[in-house]
Amino acid sequence: MPRATRVTLLGWIVSSCVAFLAGLILRSLPVHRLRVRFARSGRAPWQRFADEDEREHAFTMRDIPRDVLALAEDPYVASSVPRDAPLADRPFAMREHVPDTGDRAVVVEARVRLVVTEVEETAARLEQITREADGYVVALDVATERTHPHGRAVLAVPVERVAPVIERIRSLPVVRTVVDSSYREQDVTSDVLDLEARLTAARRTEERYLALLERAERVSDMVRIEEELRRIRAEIERLEGQQRWFAERRRMARIDVVFHSGEATLW
């Protein structure tokens, strides 16, 4: 065989072996997967690497643990703990509001039923007594029908003045008979503590979302955070309203006075 022919044949064999080995190496590497993704997306692999690197450094809501954000299903950790749970089992937000003293939150309610000589005069006297006790009339309803004149008044007076006010009502000149009277103190300590814990948790959640809003880089994330902030702030306003209601009820006792001008046996 001529020398030139042998050289050509040897070169062909070597190139074939190199091509075969290169094919094996390429198949064992993930490069072909990049080519497939490139063919499907129409974007070069280096462009995809750049996008992925950008996503790693950009803020996304999915990267934040749910227990840190306190999201939808369980907005506030305190709400998932029973009110009567032991102190050690309560979240920090609930622990810090447990009073060290024996103070209790109490709502005072009283009820008086009267037979009177004149319902309209009785209503006027009740309003006067309430004003003099630095209270106010919550509701007043008087029916002057001939067959059965009657009325009802709900009075709010300072807790420390409940007993004197009730005594003045029972002693009114228009009162013929005191049918009955009752006094009740309702302990609402657990409700007040639970409300305070929920409000504290909501405010802390608001602070976390405000911090996340400052870090957010994407418009979609900003919109989502602002939506959560609106929801949380609405919840805070609702809880603050309940807190004001409890504070008012603890400060002002309610006296329910029912009266009519018939015989006591009509009840």
Q: pLDDT for 174-220, tens place per residue? A: 999 999 999 999 999 999 999 999 999 999 999 999 999 999 889 98
**What average pLDDT does the structure give for the chain?**
74
Asked if residues 111 and 154 have their Cβ atoms less than 8 Å apart, the reply is no
List the structure tokens of 172.
């009114």
In angstroms, the CA 22 to CA 238 distance is 70
Dump pLDDT digits (tens) for 122-167: 999 999 999 999 999 999 999 987 778 999 999 999 999 999 999 9
Question: Which backbone phi and psi does 157 adopt, to 5 degrees?
Answer: -135, 155
Question: Which backbone phi and psi does 239 adopt, to 5 degrees?
Answer: -65, -40
List the structure tokens of 191.
């409700």
- Please compute the mean of the pLDDT values over residues 35-43 and round it to a whole number: 44
Q: Using CA of residue 37, residue 41, residue 42, residue 45, what is the dihedral sign?
A: negative
Asked if residues 119 and 142 have their Cβ atoms less than 8 Å apart, the reply is yes
Split at pLDDT 50, 70, 90, the class of 22 is low
Instruction: Look up the pTM and report it.
Output: 0.55
In angstroms, the CA 108 to CA 103 distance is 15
Reply yes or no on whether the pLDDT at 49 is more than 70. no
Sheet holding 136-143, edge to edge: 136-143, 150-158, 252-260, 106-116, 175-187
In angstroms, the CA 245 to CA 240 distance is 9
Split at pLDDT 50, 70, 90, the class of 74 is very low
- Domain map of the chain by residue range? 3-57, 60-267
